[in-house]
Amino acid sequence: MQSTRSLTSTSRLLAQTFRLQPSALPLVARSSPACYASSRQFTNQSSSQKAPVAPVSKMSQAENLDLLNKQRSLRPSSPHFTIYQPQLTWLGSIANRVTGVGLSVGMYAYAIAYLAGPHIGLGEFFASSHLVGLAATAPFWLKVALKAPLAAAFSYHTFNGIRHLLWDAGKCLTLKGAYTSGYIVIGATALSTIGLVLL
């Protein structure tokens, strides 16, 4: 008897929530006569009542755009840097992208300058022999200032690329593994940068 009552209340709730006809209820839910009578009574009541209609007003395209921009300004930004604690995982991800873009832009800029230099009046300025001569005569502080960012970006992107290959192979995917590999990348980057700068 208890199960029939709970079944009846469940089917009544289903009918009220989804405005179902008794025939749309599952066979088990509409098997009791009390359930059938109550859902039929609810259907008769709900058919006489109409759902409230939201007011609709016509708007121009500019007004629509205005309203959309106002709604967008109220939405929170994601990721919201003011509420998220800095973590090695997302800082490392951002650094990997920045170093990758920086190295690519630098490589393409040098390649274009190397090819275009003789045609735009720069002669052999970007030729390897001229650049080696400039580096030999430059003071030590200038060499370090130019080499350090390039060496750091190259080292970090290389070691973090190896880390990503390990992830692709299914290694170091746990939280502990991600942090351990991240610290290894930072340490290897520091050592490699010092080594490359001192060359």
Residue ranges covered by each domain of the chain: 2-46, 88-197
Write the secondary structure of 160-183 as one string of H (helix), E (strand) and C (coil).
HHHHHHHHHCCCCCCHHHHHHHHH
Amino acid 30: pLDDT: 47
pTM of the model: 0.58
Amino acid 54: pLDDT: 75
- Residue 138 carries which DSSP code? S
Three-class SS state of 159: helix
Cα gap 83→63, rounded to integer Å = 33
Amino acid 56: pLDDT: 81
Amino acid 157: pLDDT: 97
Amino acid 175: pLDDT: 92
Amino acid identity, position 30: R
The tens place of each residue's pLDDT in the chain, 199 residues long, gives 444 455 556 666 555 655 555 555 455 444 555 555 555 555 555 555 677 777 788 888 998 899 899 988 888 776 666 777 889 998 999 999 999 999 999 999 989 988 888 888 787 788 888 888 888 899 999 989 999 999 999 999 999 999 999 999 999 999 999 999 999 999 999 999 999 998 8
Amino acid 40: pLDDT: 53
183 and 159 in contact (C-beta within 8 Å)? no
CATH of domain 88-197: 1.20.1300.10
